[in-house]
Structure 1
Amino acid sequence: MFIRTENFSQYVRAYPIVTFLLALNIGIFILTWIPGIGNQLLLFGIGDNFLIANGEYWRLVTPMFLHGGLTHLLFNMFSLFIFGPELEKIAGKARFITIYMLAGLFGDVATYFLQSGDYRHLGASGAIFGVFGAFGALVYYTKHVFPQLKQVILPIIVISVVMTFVGTNINVTAHIAGLITGFLIGLSYFNPKNIVSWRKKR
């Protein structure tokens, strides 16, 4: 289910939204390596609760496209590369980008309201957890008719949540808020008709 067998051109044609998000995140990360420009880009887009409180509201969106290092980027983009295509196929392009963006947005909004005024953060993890949450909603609807999905997704969600709390320098608030947002949106999006249609494509 989550094993990618497409070549590059097939992947791009089949999953244009995931491809765009991968290219955007990787491209922005490369820009942050450029002396001068990179530092300014990070300073302009990083989530900073103090600056948000002073009217820089774009920082509720821009952090989900910035990463603090290569490992941070690779972890998030690998998750998007593996799990994003299946959700884009199931939900459709418009619904997939809605899940991704709203999960990231609500993760950053929750961070603003629940973390301290001097808290700073960046990363696509809230949006990635939204993808996991949407799969959780799919498991909820298909747990009796497609148990294989449950056997794959639930351990991934549990491990991801556990790592959220045991890891260091992790925005726990964005992860959990993104997960909940993705799950709730998934509950509203998925219905027996499109689930049956998806299963026929398996």
Structure 2
Amino acid sequence: MTVITAIGPRISGMARKLPTWPVYVLGLVPAGWLVYAALTNQLGIDPVRQLEHDLGLLSLRFLLASLCITPLLRFARINLMKFRKALGLLAVIYLTLHFLVWLLLDLQLRWGLIGAEIVKRPYLTVGFVAFLMLLPLAATSWQGAIRRLGVATWGRLHRLVYPAVILGGIHFVMQEKVWTTESLIYLALAVGLVATRLTWIRRW
């Protein structure tokens, strides 16, 4: 623990010198690869489904990464707070792409079917609710929104990330034909990170 505490400030010092734009650039590299893989028929026998899956999983990973920032600060004294917004926005970008692939390539804009599918299939309902929860967070991620809403209101609004990430984990588990260790690990991480964060909020 002492070693971690000693290393933390060094990492934090290096992080302070870095701009945030490389996080966006590197974060979008997987999207570029997926586009290339789709165009060159490298996504298997069901490329649309694979593309949906990979984009959704990337969204969940970035969302979980954004929720790891505070525990890293509290437990390891590693301050990466300046990158939290970038990770959160990348999560929303990938989730939007995930939804658009389903909307455009899978259901091909058959609006009646789209509504029916979301209502009929619980895993789609759960995923869509998580998507709707994250949209206002992305829309209010700029500094002007904090001034207009007020810090307290803005903070309460952005707590929607907690149910959203759990719903994202549940969506991942439910969409699997059989429960996999991977999907259960992601759900456990989501629940664990949210539970830890809510414990801190109550203490405040």
TM-score, normalised to structure 1's length?
0.30
TM-score, normalised to structure 2's length?
0.30
- Bigger fraction of residues in helix: 2
Greater relative contact order (CA < 8 Å, ≥ 6 in sequence) = 1
Higher-Rg member (1/2): 2
